[in-house]
Amino acid sequence: ETGVTQSPTHLIKTRGQQVTLRCSSQSGHNTVSWYQQALGQGPQFIFQYYREEENGRGNFPPRFSGLQFPNYSSELNVNALELDDSALYLCASSNPRGVPMNTEAFFGQGTRLTVV
């Protein structure tokens, strides 16, 4: 196990609703990244947070937003859900500025979101 935990594991929402997904990063990791993985596809980068600030964003609309807390845990919020938002959402934590340098991103098991 990587020490990265995500909740909930599964979620069903109705189109137009809002959803919040949560991620607890591995101990000592200050950077959290979120990825969306549609069925049969590779993960797509949504955004990254470092020390509570957004530090890079992929090609996702503004209705995808996030937060990082002082304990480095993170939330992903999606407003106005669409059917295409159905996917596995993966959180990854890392400590790229750590000593010794630890650049690997460790992933959680993901939250499977179904929008109906």
Partner 1 sequence: AQKVTQAQTEISVVEKEDVTLDCVYETRDTTYYLFWYKQPPSGELVFLIRRNSFDEQNEISGRYSWNFQKSTSSFNFTITASQVVDSAVYFCALSGGPPNFGNEKLTFGTGTRLTIIP
Interface with partner 1 (CB under 8 A): 2, 31, 33, 35, 40-45, 48, 50, 55-56, 58, 88, 90, 92, 94, 96-97, 101, 103-110, 112
Least distance CB 11 / partner 1 (angstroms): 14
Based on CB atoms, which residue is closest to partner 1, 65 or 102? 102
CB of 16 to partner 1, least distance (A): 26
Query: Residue 100: is the preceding peptide bond cis (ω within 30°)?
Result: yes
- Report the distance separating Cα 69 and Cα 85, nearest Å: 24
C-beta closer to partner 1: residue 45 or 65: 45
Cβ partners under 8 Å of residue 31, min gap 6: 25, 48, 49, 50, 55, 72, 93, 94, 95, 96
d(CA 67, CA 9): 19
Token pair of 68 as six digits:
């990082």
Closest separation between CB of residue 17 and partner 1, Å? Answer: 23
Residue 8 Cβ vs partner 1, minimum distance, rounded to whole Å: 13
Nearer to partner 1, 61 or 98 (CB): 98
Between 78 and 93, name the residue whose CB sits nearer to partner 1.
Answer: 93
Beta strands 74-78; 111-115: pairing state = unpaired
